[in-house]
Structure 1
Amino acid sequence: MSLSRDSFSDLLTRLVTGVLIAAVGLAAVWAGHPWFSLLVVAIVAVLIWELARMLDAGPKRSLMLGGLAAGLLLAAKLLPVGLGLPLLMLAGIAGIGVLDRNRTLFLVLTVLIMLASFGLMIHRDEFGVTWMLWLVLVVAVTDIFGYFAGRIFGGPKFWPRVSPKKTWSGTTAGWIGAAVVGWAFMAVTNSGIELIGVSVALSMASQMGDIAESAVKRRAGVKDSSALLPGHGGLWDRFDGMLGAALVLLIVESLTRFPPVPGGM
């Protein structure tokens, strides 16, 4: 095992930025609606702006698409769910008439971002602070364990063509960390053992969200989605895992009983 001199060169910057992000996020989680919803809407505005920029929409069009997505998400939140769903689709469809290329990629990714973000707001409303913190911890521990294990143990790369820094050791460590989080919440909340499996699945979804964003950046030929967050790059670089996990959690909550109860879901 050997560590290069710069293995942790960006750790302090990442840590400071991460603490600030966590403080704002946790405050909004605790406050609930409307503050949490407004934070998610603001994040989506930036995410779609970053995506549009990476796909060569141009500065003005990118701002327009980001603002449109935020407005549609807020409207969808305020309307009954059935009436709001078409608005979540409309943000991606709007890109077809605005972008000169990469229309399909923008359409698919924007719809997924909108659904995941809407799912986050519903999850906070329906299940409260405890289960929102569980989701945040699953994603955070996946990222933290992966970061340290990957740099300490190294080893074979997970998918070097798409994400050159991601290793199998870091990927596996993320799953283990998520399982521990699931076990801890199972014990505290008296939930069923299936919570451990759900936690690991969300960890995997979080990593897939990270890989999906890496693929987009590689296609666009950029290192980061933007330069808004020191040590982290853009907002999408920080929230890619949460988007993947939230999207899968939305499906889990639609198909199964959540939170799991002892003896079965």
Structure 2
Amino acid sequence: MLKTRVLTSVILMAGFLAAVFFLPDVYWALLMLAFIAIAFWEWAGIAKLAKPWRHVYVSTAIVFGVIIILADNIGMPTLQPQVMFYSILAATIFWLMVSPAWLMMRFQIRQPAVLAFIGLVILFPTWLALVSMRGISPWLLLMVMATVWIADSAAYFAGRRFGKHKLAPQISPGKTWEGVLGAWLGVSVYGAILCVSLSLPYWTIVGLLGITVLSIMGDLLESLVKRQAGVKDSGSLLPGHGGILDRIDGLTSTLPLVMFFIYFPTYFLVMESFYA
């Protein structure tokens, strides 16, 4: 199982690095849209949408994504920044206010339409953040994603070796406080290396630890939704990992929020330039 997991990770990493550095912007956006569309399909399955509605759900997300990609070419230059702002804002409110309450209360949402809407709030901003952050700098995107991956790997190995105290046994019995400490330690070392090698301020480490907390929240939320739906994995596309959702759960709660703090201060200046 571990060998399969590692092999899948290596293949994914090689393909991802090639795409993030060499694909033109439009093709990158389309590739990420394809991956997010699969995640939408998996989420629709967890939400127990009837199959015809699953097709409508995913198709709508794809069509809307393509419209955003082509916005400048179809005479809607303000569509991208407006959709970006409100989508990222919705995701930020969800992860900072709704998700903590959901995890603490562990309430179960039985209405497929409500779960489908939540999937939209989670997944669409993730796609927008993947596209926009890479547009700012591929290295910025990699730095944030590497934080999540390092936290996940460090938590996995620390939990296996030292895990005794359960983090959230009724949500995800395999996660432990020792795993969380391992994630923080791994990310702290990673942050220190970044600060020394790139001459970054040391408070950068605090930001990376915040990203780690958010990634754990995303992981726990997906675990809760899957457990309540009676599902072990979101899919079987990635051997050793499960589905796309199982691989990006930590990114759905981190990328949009990082993008919010980057994008929010400049949004009104950008919109003012369109109407000047």
After TM superposition, is the score higher than 0.5? yes
Give the counterpart of 1:47 among 35, 39, 43: 39
The residue aligned with 1:161 is: 170
Q: Is residue 222 from structure 1 mapped to residue 231 from structure 2 by the alignment?
A: yes
The residue aligned with 1:37 is: 29
Farther-moved stretch of structure 1 (71-80 vs 140-149): 71-80
> How far apart in 1 are the matches of 2:241 and 2:40?
17
The residue aligned with 2:52 is: 60
The residue aligned with 2:79 is: 83
Shift, 1:20, TM fit: 1.4
Q: Is residue 74 from structure 1 mapped to residue 70 from structure 2 by the alignment?
A: no
> How far apart in 2 are the matches of 1:60 and 1:209?
28
> How far apart in 1 are the matches of 2:65 and 2:192?
34
Please tell me the residue identity of whatever aligns with 1:49. W
Shift, 1:30, TM fit: 1.1
Q: Which fold has the larger relative contact order, with Cα–Cα distance below 8 Å and residues 6 or more apart in sequence? A: 2
The residue aligned with 2:184 is: 175
> How far apart in 2 are the matches of 1:28 and 1:70?
20
The residue aligned with 1:116 is: 126
The residue aligned with 1:244 is: 253
Per-residue CA deviation, residues 210-246 of structure 1 (Å, 9 max, x unaligned), is 1111011011110011111111111100111111110
Please tell me the residue identity of whatever aligns with 1:36. W
> How far apart in 1 are the matches of 2:44 and 2:217?
20
Relative to structure 1, is the Cα distance of residues 184 and 255 closer, same or farther in structure 2, using a 3 angstrom cutoff? farther
Contact 1:224 1:233 in 2 (8 A): yes
Structure 2: where are the runs of 5+ without partners? Answer: 91-109, 267-276
Shift, 1:74, TM fit: 3.1
> How far apart in 1 are the matches of 2:256 and 2:168?
22
Relative to structure 1, is the Cα distance of residues 16 and 192 closer, same or farther in structure 2, using a 3 angstrom cutoff? same
Relative to structure 1, is the Cα distance of residues 255 and 189 closer, same or farther in structure 2, using a 3 angstrom cutoff? farther
> How far apart in 2 are the matches of 1:20 and 1:67?
28
SS at match of 1:47: helix
Farther-moved stretch of structure 1 (166-175 vs 104-113): 104-113
> How far apart in 1 are the matches of 2:78 and 2:173?
41
> How far apart in 1 are the matches of 2:160 and 2:183?
13
Farther-moved stretch of structure 1 (175-184 vs 133-142): 175-184
Structure 1: where are the runs of 5+ without partners? Answer: 1-9, 93-99, 258-265
- Alpha carbon RMSD of aligned pairs, Å? 2.3
Per-residue CA deviation, residues 92-149 of structure 1 (Å, 9 max, x unaligned), is 9xxxxxxx933222212312211122012111101x1221221121011011101100
Contact 1:182 1:195 in 2 (8 A): yes
The residue aligned with 2:4 is: 13
Identify the structure with the greater helix proportion. 2
Per-residue CA deviation, residues 41-96 of structure 1 (Å, 9 max, x unaligned), is 0111001110111111133322332232123123224436741345986xx9xxxx
**How many residues end up aligned between the 2 structures?**
238
SS at match of 2:174: strand
| Match runs of 1:127-166 below 5 Å | 128-166=137-175
TM-score scaled by length of structure 2: 0.79
Please tell me the residue identity of whatever aligns with 1:134. M
Shift, 1:255, TM fit: 5.5
The residue aligned with 2:116 is: 106
> How far apart in 1 are the matches of 2:217 and 2:48?
24
Report sequence identity in percent: 31
> How far apart in 2 are the matches of 1:189 and 1:68?
42
> How far apart in 2 are the matches of 1:219 and 1:199?
30
Relative to structure 1, is the Cα distance of residues 26 and 160 closer, same or farther in structure 2, using a 3 angstrom cutoff? same
The residue aligned with 1:6 is: none
The residue aligned with 2:222 is: 213
